[in-house]
Amino acid sequence: MKFNHYLSVLAFSLFLASCGDDDTGTGTADYADVLANVGTNVFLKTYEDLKDRAIQLQNATAALEALPNSANLEAARAAWVAARSPWEQSEGFLFGPVDQEGLDPSLDSWPVNVTDLNNVLASSNALTVDFLKAQEGTLKGFHTIEYLLWGTDGNKQPDTFTEREYEYLAACAGALAADAAALYDLWSPAGGNYVKQVTDAGNGSNIYISQKAALEEMANGLIVIADEVANGKINDPFSQKDLSLEESRFSANSKADFADNIRSIQNIYTGKYGSGGNGNGIANIIKAKNVALDARVYAEIAVAIQAIEAIPGTFSDAVFNAGTAVENAQQQVRGLLSTLESEVLPIISNL
Amino acid sequence: MPDKVFFLLPVFLLLLGCQKDDQPKPDELEGLMAGGGTTVFSTGPDAYTFPLANIGGYLGQHAAGDAAFEQAFVTAPAPQFGGIGPVFNQNACIACHVRNGRSAPPVHTGDPATGLLLRLSIPGEGAQGGALPVPGFGVQLQTKAIFGEMPEGTLAVAYKQEVVEFLTGEKASLQLPVFAIENPYQPLPVGVLTSPRNAPPVFGLGLLEAIPEAGILALADENDSNGDGISGRPNWVWDIKEQRTVLGRFGWKAGNPTAVQQTADAFNHDMGITNSYFPMENCQGQGNCQSGLSPGLDIDDDFVETTAFYFKTLGVPGPRGLDDEVVKIGRELFDAAKCSSCHVPKHQTGSDAISALSFQTIYPYTDLLLHDMGEGLADGRPDFSASGQEWRTPPLWGIGLAQVVNPKASFLHDGRARTLEEAILWHGGEAEASRNFYKNASKKEREAMVAFLKAL
């Protein structure tokens, strides 16, 4: 699900302040180190983790199908949560093959087509990976698996599953693993090598005519996801007090989704991902122009993650019972959004 | 991918403000503000996704429309976004209009990812002068269905190769898609007329709608009274809300009069989403139209209008490198070849309900009129006043970014042209002289003409 909302916040004067701030004197600074690190150690690595954890999810659902019990159900749920994390950490860069190849809807469509799902389950169709691959995104991907693993109110027990639900789950996880593998392959140097479009921006890339063009798309990606978390994912269910608008409500994973989305911003900004990345990120560029701003972005990212994680209980509960904490998290993400939009992006746009 | 919030126009002004002594002459930069005050400047894959540079207070409505444009629909009954199908082509606007741009044509028979669809009719004139629906199939082949219903059929495609030789001896290869309907859910009547339509980009349509009708009709020359071989005809089409025949502007044959009606049409025929403009299911009365039906309309007028508002308020991407020497030559050749007789560069918008679109000088490179494009491009399927050989001049603004936005995008109504050069080479009919100008030009001249298009 990718709702998007906007803050009408642009101070035009900020754009006008930096004429001739070419204080390096060269005017042709090289950002290849940033592009190489973010492309290879953040983007590609995130997709590699997604691919690996999707395989683990596939294995866990196969084990659950083979031996349905509480332990295997919990293991499958844990595998879903683990695979969900790199996906949410990829939502700060939803460009390239994920977008062009229709993989985003295939992996992460919302809502689930429950009517069709029930009809498929009631049918005698063979529930194979190939069958699932041919279905629309609303019948597969993270949210269909989530719906099957947890049920509408999050407390489904092994004895309430039908045999066909287990089959559907395993096939659906197989299709998800295939999509995740395809996505990694399209980016990988051994496959489609889309990562080269990023690392070679302005130097042979046929997508990005300049390094600045690639950096602008990255900066825009940060803004898009900050906006979506604050003004879509948090705002829609919270402002309308309608949990049918909450994306990962079956699994009660929404807070983790939001925090991982902000971590996606953190990864690209700081040039680090997990224990990897050499630290060449968007931060390099900002720090060279404005040390105080760089420090503020670091702090605002950390504060936003803290505020999301500080929401008590599940997000579903908090929508009704912890409004102040939800509002605080939303405000912190909006603050980060405002900084990215009105201070970080203009620096990139004026490179 | 959701769109962006920020305003690139001031960045452009800033760049102008920072120019050195060797700044280009004003006439070289004519058309730089392709969308007037709405113009945005981005060279990346997100170039078609920014709101109007001058969007101001409309941003909230634009954002709501963005979510609607992206939303996937599901089978009714559903608590949210129910009503897809029973038969459909895709389940979200964005699925065809990839990143608000062009679709990829089908790579193989039954390609589920394509945003290319097949319009259908039988000979004769339907209600209000439109196409006559095919019994059992309607006016469009829906190639997908909800679970338990049959799609109307499979879109089959095979590509034939052709070779064109330039005067200077080099050759170019062209591909011609041949479409057919396989596995129809019931026998298809004989003599069905078909028209393949690839999803076009959606930015700038608000500005095109704001061009006063008189400005378009003034360009029409139905009997070629000026003797230039080019006759531009308006399409006269049915306005559902006004219940009268009006000027058509949108779609490959200008079959829809307004952006809102175009949207309502796409919701109904492409997605199976009923609305007040098209209250019947697209498969009404058919044997594959029995389940997944909701009692009322699937979406209200507000949803249709909000969706249309989104793309009406997308910024037009400005050209790049207009002062480049090769591009300058290409632009002169574009005029010399009389490309600009139909791809009319400049228009003025009138007053519009969206004030950001009002009174703008714009450079869409279209006359919004129908032209006979020859047998090579003909679909043989009339659409209101448009004949089976006529197509509406598509706008060229932003076309240089088409394959940056979607590397699989291609050109012309059926996506047959993989490159801009191929698109030029398919021009025939009224455009034959222009096409021959290109074919007979030197390699450098041809490259310059393509460079100009790529700069747009």
Do B11 and A16 count as a contact with CB atoms less than 8 A apart?
A: no
Domain boundaries, chain B: 9-455
Cβ contacts of B112 on chain A, cutoff 8 Å: 134
Cβ contacts of A141 on chain B, cutoff 8 Å: none
Supply the DSSP string of A114-128, one letter for each residue. Answer: HHHHHHHHHS-----
User: What's the first-to-final CA gap in chain B, in angstroms?
Assistant: 23
* Binding-face residues of A in 137-176 toward B, CB within 8 A: 137-139
Reported confidence tier of residue A283, pLDDT bands at 50, 70, 90:
very high
Cβ contacts of A245 on chain B, cutoff 8 Å: 80
Supply the DSSP string of B202-245, one letter for each residue. Answer: -TTHHHHHTS-HHHHHTT--TT-TT-SS---B--EEEETTTTEE
Would you state the pLDDT for residue B105? Answer: 96
- At residue A5, does pLDDT exceed 50? no
A7-19 pLDDT, tens per residue?
333 333 333 333 3
Among candidates A3, A232, A350 on the partner chain, residue whose Cβ is nearest the Cβ of B14: A350
Q: Which of A90-94, A138-142, A237-241, B228-232 is the least confident region?
A: B228-232
**Helix A282-289 vs helix A254-270: angle between axes, to the nearest 10 degrees?**
60
Reported confidence tier of residue A23, pLDDT bands at 50, 70, 90:
very low
A294-311 pLDDT, tens per residue?
999 999 999 999 999 999
pTM value?
Answer: 0.92
Task: Give A202-209's long-range contacts (Cβ < 8 A, gap of 24+).
Answer: A203/A32, A206/B404, A206/B407, A207/A96, A207/B44, A207/B45, A207/B404, A207/B407, A208/B43, A208/B44, A209/B43
Taking CA–CA distances from B293, the nearest residue in chain A reads: A115
- What integer is the mean pLDDT of A78-87? 98
B34-46 pLDDT, tens per residue?
999 999 998 999 9
Would you state the pLDDT for residue A20? Answer: 38
The answer to whether residue A115 neighbours chain B at the CB level (below 8 Å) is yes
Tokens of B401: 């970014």
- What integer is the mean pLDDT of B163-189? 97
In whole angstroms, give the CA distance from residue A341 to residue A293.
13
Reported confidence tier of residue A347, pLDDT bands at 50, 70, 90:
very high
In whole angstroms, give the CA distance from residue B22 to residue A296.
39
A178-217 pLDDT, tens per residue?
999 999 999 999 999 999 999 999 999 989 999 999 999 9
Taking CA–CA distances from A98, the nearest residue in chain B reads: B1
Would you state the pLDDT for residue A185? Answer: 98
B248-303 pLDDT, tens per residue?
999 999 999 999 999 999 999 999 999 999 999 999 999 999 999 988 999 999 99
Q: How far is B314 from chain A (nearest CA, A)?
A: 14
Which amino acid is present at A165? Answer: E
B367-400 pLDDT, tens per residue?
999 999 999 999 999 999 999 999 999 999 999 9
Reported confidence tier of residue B6, pLDDT bands at 50, 70, 90:
very low
Cβ contacts of B98 on chain A, cutoff 8 Å: 99-100
The answer to whether residue A260 neighbours chain B at the CB level (below 8 Å) is no
Do A99 and B99 count as a contact with CB atoms less than 8 A apart?
A: yes
B191-226 pLDDT, tens per residue?
999 999 999 999 999 999 999 999 999 999 988 888
- At residue B13, does pLDDT exceed 60? no
Taking CA–CA distances from A194, the nearest residue in chain B reads: B407
Do A111 and B8 count as a contact with CB atoms less than 8 A apart?
A: no
Taking CA–CA distances from B103, the nearest residue in chain A reads: A100
In whole angstroms, give the CA distance from residue A229 to residue B117.
35
Cβ contacts of A101 on chain B, cutoff 8 Å: 113
Is 3.40.1390.20 the CATH classification of the domain at A45-192?
Answer: no
Among candidates B10, B147, B408 on the partner chain, residue whose Cβ is nearest the Cβ of A116: B147
Do B3 and A224 count as a contact with CB atoms less than 8 A apart?
A: yes
User: If you classify domain A29-37+196-349 with CATH, what class do you get?
Assistant: mainly alpha
Would you state the pLDDT for residue B224? Answer: 87
- What integer is the mean pLDDT of B405-427? 97
Chain region(s) in chain A for CATH 1.20.1420.20 = 29-37+196-349, 45-192
Do A15 and B81 count as a contact with CB atoms less than 8 A apart?
A: no
Cβ contacts of B53 on chain A, cutoff 8 Å: none
The answer to whether residue B14 neighbours chain A at the CB level (below 8 Å) is yes
